[in-house]
């Protein structure tokens, strides 16, 4: 990873806000992951298979994945505030929107809360063995979000998995917690 140079005061505020929220987020993520695991395993073990339809389990797991990746607190911007990974385009978009005085939904309208490992793939993995808590936990451990700019979403490599999806267009990802840019080699090694 190479050092990312914070360019201005507003960018520094974004990085510092993330660092403040992230510690709280880590504690919440452990708690929510544990709660999600218990809920999924309980449902899989105790509800008759003819009653629990696949899409119900899909929806429940999908909701847990969202809850794991959202930062803690009563704010309405939990999909973005406190997220550790942002692309340089997303940072630029966010700062431009701030400078233009945008607030609320307008501030985030061109940003996307991207699940680095696609939710559907995680859901399918969990469904393979939903009664084994170790299997569910290991599947939920790769639930990571990255804030990207709307246009970048279409540039992600569809056939790839995880961080490798960001390699095709060389999308630049910043770890706001460490003030570092993930280099292409880092993205390959994170698998």
Q: Are 143 and 170 in contact (CB under 8 A)?
A: no
Instruction: Mark out the alpha helices in 70-118 (DSSP H runs).
Output: 88-99, 105-108
Burial classification of residue 76, based on how many CB atoms lie within 10 Å of its CB (0-12 exposed, 13-18 middle, 19 or more buried): exposed
pLDDT for 24 equals 75
Query: The pTM is what?
Result: 0.83
pLDDT of residue 159: 87
pLDDT tens, position by position, 7-60: 677 777 777 777 777 777 777 788 888 999 999 888 888 877 666 666 677 888
**pLDDT score of 19:** 77
- How much is the pLDDT for 116? 93
pLDDT of residue 125: 92
Tens digits of per-residue pLDDT, 128-180? 888 899 999 999 989 999 999 999 988 998 888 888 898 877 789 999 888 88
């Amino acid at each position: 990873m190479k050092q990312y140079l914070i360019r201005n005061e507003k960018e520094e505020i974004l990085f510092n806000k993330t660092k403040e929220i992230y510690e709280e987020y880590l504690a919440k993520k452990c708690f929510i992951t544990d709660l999600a695991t218990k809920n999924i395993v309980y449902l899989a073990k105790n509800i008759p298979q003819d009653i629990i339809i696949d899409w119900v389990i899909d929806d429940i797991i999908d909701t847990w994945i969202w809850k794991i990746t959202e930062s803690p607190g009563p704010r309405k911007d939990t999909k973005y505030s406190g997220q550790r990974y942002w692309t340089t385009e997303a940072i630029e978009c966010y700062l431009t929107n701030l400078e233009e005085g945008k607030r609320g939904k307008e501030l985030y309208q061109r940003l996307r809360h991207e699940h680095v490992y696609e939710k559907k793939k995680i859901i399918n993995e969990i469904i393979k063995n939903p009664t084994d808590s170790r299997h569910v936990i290991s599947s939920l451990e790769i639930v990571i979000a990255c804030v990207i700019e709307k246009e970048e979403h279409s540039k992600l490599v569809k056939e790839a998995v995880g961080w490798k999806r960001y390699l095709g267009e060389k999308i630049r990802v910043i770890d706001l917690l460490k003030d570092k840019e993930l280099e292409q080699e880092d993205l390959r090694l994170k698998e």
